[in-house]
Amino acid sequence: MNEKQAIVVGAGLAGCEAAWQLARHGISVRLYEMKPQKYTPAHKYKGFAELVCSNSLKAMRINSAAGLLKEEMRRLGSLTVACAEENAVPAGGALAVDREKFSDSVTERIMNEPLIEVISEEVNAVPEGNVIIATGPLTAEGLAEDIQGLCGGYLSFFDAAAPIVTFDSLDKDKVFFAARYGRGDDDYINCPFTKEEYLRFYNEIIHAESAPLHDFDRPEGCRDDFTVYEGCMPIEVLAKRGEETMRYGAMKPVGLTDPKTGSRPYAAVQLRKENSEGTLYNIVGFQTNLKFGEQKRVFSLIPGLENAEFVRYGVMHRNSFLNSPKLLNGDFSLRSRPKLFFAGQMTGVEGYMESAASGIMAGLNLSRKILEQQELILPRETMIGALSRYISDETVTDFQPMGANMGILPPLDEHIKGKQERYQAVADRALNAFEEYMKDKK
Ligand SMILES: Cc1cc2nc3c(=O)[nH]c(=O)nc-3n(C[C@H](O)[C@H](O)[C@H](O)COP(=O)(O)OP(=O)(O)OC[C@H]3O[C@@H](n4cnc5c(N)ncnc54)[C@H](O)[C@@H]3O)c2cc1C
């Protein structure tokens, strides 16, 4: 491979976007894809950019997180947004597609691009040179092991995540800031329960409905109820062990004094900062496999979370993703090997379009590195810029994958009351910042 060539591994949403951007900037690309010789447990179709589950690419309106993301992608010359619009099926305000036609369109354009050579082969080790790895949440084993070695063990194979809520949506009259036993700064937000509130919560959680689990979603050796795998025990499974179990685990009140009552609450849920701006908080110890609607219903019984906005629900599924804040730069390159980039779900962005967007950024930035141009990291006010910063934010400790949401953008300077109006102002600010930043970039 000469200096002006690149390798992209994985022709999923991220890999196709990355290869497309490289080619658009005059870089010749070898794109490796193991299909049709080998399929992950979720992939079935022969074409590229396969949508493995839902056929929805979410909302189109610009004053929504998903709509804003797609608009920024469109402005960057996104292949997947163009192909999705051509193959859209009616879905109200959402952009949904005929998944096979969508995949065929992407495949055809990639195949017809003279600067892209497609190689149908599984890759078992990270190649040398200018490389983008975009092999997704179900990366084949050999390559996953090599990445694991290269990244010092910072690759997770399983995502047991707790829900994340926005700070703005918490009831500040009910919660209080404090660290247990006053150790350290007041790093946690505490939600205090009375005995009655706790018993109600307990009764709801033990009867709440769980999501079905695919075989490939189970961590090795794990049975249906996760009894073998203590480390990722869902809160609802713990709760079913007995009325008191949560009070001795994730909901223990020891070391906490509620300033309103001057005494220790009967139980407490703690929330921990998810990003350096403090706009997002995760519910500590609440990894869960409950259905999303059930999470909203039951977790809204936590005092202070009655009107909480959930930007990410808890999940328990197989998901190979890097501990990116320890490893990646905001341009998606590996800090320890600057010509090696990662893209897609494995960087800890979550969702079809988020994966595709990170592919655009990795492709753009690798082409800029090859052409000796300055890196491109969009402003933090944009959705893509905020995601790039989230995955590379060194202050994040307990990293969980994140999709596009309004909570990762910096708050507006002025307070706008209505949600629609507020989101419109946030979107306007994002697109203005985008245009301003891109003005002098080639
Ligand atoms: C079961 C499941 C359901 C999901 N459902 C949704 C959903 O409904 N909505 C949503 O927004 N997101 C969903 N996601 C999350 C995420 O958006 C998708 O996984 C998305 O496809 C990720 O894009 P990607 O480009 O990172 O990876 P992928 O689209 O998975 O692409 C990776 C490509 O790399 C190839 N590959 C893997 N290993 C190798 C190798 N060693 N050598 C060569 N090629 C290789 C694969 O065959 C694949 O084509 C789901 C994820 C999973 C696992």
CA atoms within 13 A on the CB side of 60: 14
Most confident range (mean pLDDT) of 48-57, 213-222, 313-322 is 48-57
Pick the residue with more confidence: 401 or 134?
Answer: 134
For residue 9 and ligand 1, the question of a CB distance below 6 A is answered with yes
pLDDT score of 316: 85
CA 384/CA 404 separation, integer angstroms:
8
pLDDT of residue 159: 79
At 228 the pLDDT is: 40
Report d(CA 220, CA 228) in Å as an integer. Answer: 9
What does the pLDDT read at residue 4? 83
User: pLDDT value at position 91?
Assistant: 86
Given the CA of residue 359, which atom of ligand 1 is nearest to it?
A: 25
DSSP string, 234-273: -HHHHHTT-TTGGGGTTT--TT--BTTTTB--SEEEEEEE
CB 76 within 8 A of CB 385: no
Which ligand 1 atom sits closest to the C-alpha of 123? 42
Does 181 have pLDDT greater than 90? Answer: no
Q: Which atom of ligand 1 is nearest to the CA of 32?
A: 43
User: What pLDDT does 182 receive?
Assistant: 80
Q: How far is the CA of 49 from the centre of ligand 1 (A)?
A: 8
Q: Is the CB of 127 under 6 A from ligand 1?
A: no
CA-to-CA dists, residue 79 to 9, 96, 131, 138, 333, angstroms: 17, 16, 20, 23, 21
Q: Does domain 164-313 have CATH number 2.40.50?
A: no
Give the pairing of strands 56-59 and 28-33: unpaired
CB 344 less than 6 A from any atom of ligand 1: yes
Residues of the chain with CATH 2.40.30: 164-313
> At 94, is the secondary structure helix, strand, or coil?
strand
Atom of ligand 1 nearest to the CA of 124: 41
* pLDDT at res. 221: 54
Q: For residues 212 and 388, which has the higher predicted lDDT (pLDDT)?
A: 388
- In this structure, what token pair is assigned to residue 415? 């307070």
* pLDDT given at position 215: 67
CA of 101 to the centre of ligand 1 (A): 18
Distance 208 CA to ligand 1 centre (A): 29
For residue 42 and ligand 1, the question of a CB distance below 6 A is answered with yes
Please give the single-letter amino acid code of residue 21: Q
Q: Dump pLDDT digits (tens) for 30-43.
A: 999 999 999 998 89
Domain with CATH 3.50.50.60 in the chain: 5-160+318-438
Q: Is the confidence at residue 119, as pLDDT, over 60?
A: yes
Q: Quick check: CB of 37 below 6 Å from ligand 1?
A: no
138 alpha carbon – ligand 1 mean position (Å): 6
In degrees and rounded to multiples of 5, residue 181 shows phi and psi of: 55, 20
In the chain, the largest separation of any two C-alpha atoms, in whole Å, equals 71
- Examine the pLDDT at 2 and tell me if it is beyond 80: no
Query: Which of 1-5, 309-313, 356-360, 433-437 has the least mean pLDDT?
Result: 1-5
- Cα–Cα nearest to 378, from 361, 366, 403, 395: 361
Point out the least confidently predicted range of 24-28, 82-86, 225-229, 419-423.
225-229
The pLDDT tens digits for 60-108 are: 999 999 999 999 999 999 999 999 999 999 888 889 999 999 999 999 9
Instruction: Say yes or no to pLDDT of 230 above 70.
Output: no
In which band, very low, low, confident or very high, does the pLDDT at 306 lie, cut at 50, 70 and 90? very high
Mean pLDDT along residues 266-271: 97
**Mean pLDDT for the chain overall:** 93
Beta bridge partners of 190: 176, 270
Mutate to test the pocket of ligand 1, among 138, 155, 318 (most ligand atoms within 8 A of CB): 138
Nearest CA to ligand 1 atom 30: 136
Q: Selecting from 3.40.30.10, 3.40.50.1370, 3.40.50.720, 3.50.50.60, what CATH number does the domain 5-160+318-438 have? A: 3.50.50.60
Tell me the mean pLDDT in the region 165-176: 96
Instruction: Give the residue with greater pLDDT, 316 vs 127.
Output: 127
Alpha-carbon distance values, 289 to 113, 157, 235 (Å): 43, 17, 8
Give me the residue label for tokens 């929330």.
Answer: 271
Q: How far apart are CA 409 and CA 166, in angstroms?
A: 11
C-alpha 167 – ligand 1 centre gap (Å): 31
Q: Which helix (H) or strand (E) holds 31?
A: strand 28-33
Helix (H) or strand (E) run with residue 337 in it: strand 337-342
Ligand 1 atom at minimal distance to the Cα of residue 317: 53
Q: What is the DSSP letter of 190?
A: E
What pLDDT was estimated at residue 407?
92
